[in-house]
Amino acid sequence: MGLCVLSALTPGETQESVPRHLDKLQSNPAPALVLVFASPVHSLAAVMESTARRFPDAICLGATTAGELTEQGDAKGALSGLAVSGDLRVFAGIGTGLSTSPETAVRQALSGVPETVEGFPHRTAVMLLDPLTGRGEEATLLAATELGPNVPLVGGAAGDDLAMASTQVALGAQAASDAVVMAVLFSKQRLGIGVGHGHTPLSAPLRVTKADGNVVFEIDDRPAWEVWVEQTRAAALADGIDPEALPADAVGGYLLRYEAGLATGREHTIRAPLSRGDDGSLSFACGIHQGAELVITRSTAEAQLRSARLAARRARESLDGAPVAGAVVFDCICRNLILQDDFSAAVRGMSEELGSVPLAGFETYGEIALGQGDLSGFHNTTTVVLAFPAEP
């Protein structure tokens, strides 16, 4: 028996929408894995308590979002979800205190996960985390170290509709901020992974000359914000944005249009600046090392649409010829800001590339994808697709 996947997208901001959402994820046989992504208008704790009660034999993972999506389209103020049944064994844990000790949190989340399950030779790890800790990159690399080089790792950072105030992840009925959730999926067939970002360099290479954690104070010995404005001014004005006359509530959206690209392999790894400090510093979604070389990037709507399709195609092609049963998608809120009304076209494109199968996911504050030989696994403005194989 292969894998069977169901997806659900349920609008509605009241608790009454939760049982309707869970009804759509019921399957026979019962699912081994249930993922629920909830708009912050919902209480994630309440949603996950209902989910865990409805699916007592499944591993139930959850996160707050910056938007919800399935093959039906995208939404705000909704619930999206995916249920996977069949030849799959799942083990998971949650670790807290991510901001103070990423190593302890990741180890805690992986402490109950076995290294092998007889008859299920393929392992794939899924990671959900609170990005407002600024520890996304560290947690990803620590998880990869703990799992070993032969376990691909995918996932996403929770969102809160760009409020940047509080994001949560969940395992079963336990929802928490400052936390990381790890799940390892043991399967009989290889799962498919695809990644794409669609960004191109806008600036020449720049050097981070003063940084601490996820805060970059200076680039080329000048305030980071000053450099960002200088390097993006012409492109921003062409896009109808004057970076020197932005109201405070427009700074975040501007920064997410012109993100950093770190050279970590054949392609740049995208890093999202989230906010500007009074001292001209920039706070990023994860750590940026002092001395790092980066470029400022931009992307067109056309490139974003192509890269979404590319990620889905790569996931499908990595299934070694097996048909796709369904997929989970971790897609950055930044892509939505770039595409606006065309974001639904990106979702449709992914669905078409996968064969119009069930898919579900959410708009994240960071995407996780790490395979053999990768130097960095935490991304921004990137699409990560995890495809499940059907019976060949």
pLDDT tens for 73-98 read: 999 999 999 999 999 999 999 999 99
Regarding whether 164 and 139 lie in a shared domain, the answer is yes
| pLDDT tens digits for range 117-162 | 999 999 999 999 999 998 988 999 999 999 998 999 999 999 999 8
Regarding whether 52 and 190 lie in a shared domain, the answer is yes
Residue type, 32: A
Quote the percentage of the chain above a pLDDT of 70.
Answer: 97
Regarding whether 245 and 172 lie in a shared domain, the answer is no
- Please state the pTM of the whole predicted model: 0.89
Token code pair at residue 89: 């064994």
State the average pLDDT over residues 179-189.
98
Regarding whether 286 and 155 lie in a shared domain, the answer is no
pLDDT at 31 over 60: yes
377 or 175: whose pLDDT is higher? Answer: 175
Domain count, the chain: 2
The band of 297, judged by pLDDT with boundaries at 50, 70 and 90, is very high
The band of 392, judged by pLDDT with boundaries at 50, 70 and 90, is low
| Domain end residue (candidates: 298, 315, 334) | 298
Regarding whether 241 and 363 lie in a shared domain, the answer is no
pLDDT at 292 over 70: yes
Regarding whether 183 and 152 lie in a shared domain, the answer is yes
Enclosing domain of residue 310: 3-197+302-389
| pLDDT tens digits for range 261-271 | 987 666 678 88
Regarding whether 174 and 44 lie in a shared domain, the answer is yes
Q: What is the 3-state secondary structure (H, E, C) of the chain?
A: CCEEEEEEEEECCCCCHHHHHHHCCCCCCCCCEEEEEECCCCCHHHHHHHHHHHCCCCEEEEEECCCEEECCEEECCEEEEEEEEECEEEEEEEEECCCCCHHHHHHHHHCCCCCCCCCCCEEEEEEEECHHHCEHHHHHHHHHHHHCCCCCEEEEECCCCCCCCCCCEEECCEEECCEEEEEEEEECCCCEEEEECCCEECCCCEEEEEEECCEEEEECCEEHHHHHHHHHHHHHHHCCCCHHHCCHHHHHHHHHHCCEEEECCCCEEEECEEEECCCCCEEECECCCCCCEEEEEECCHHHHHHHHHHHHHHHHHCCCCCCEEEEEEEEEHHHHHHHHHHHHHHHHHHHHHCCCCCEEEEEECCEEEECCCCCCCEECCCEEEEEEECCC
Regarding whether 116 and 11 lie in a shared domain, the answer is yes
Residue 375 has a pLDDT of 44
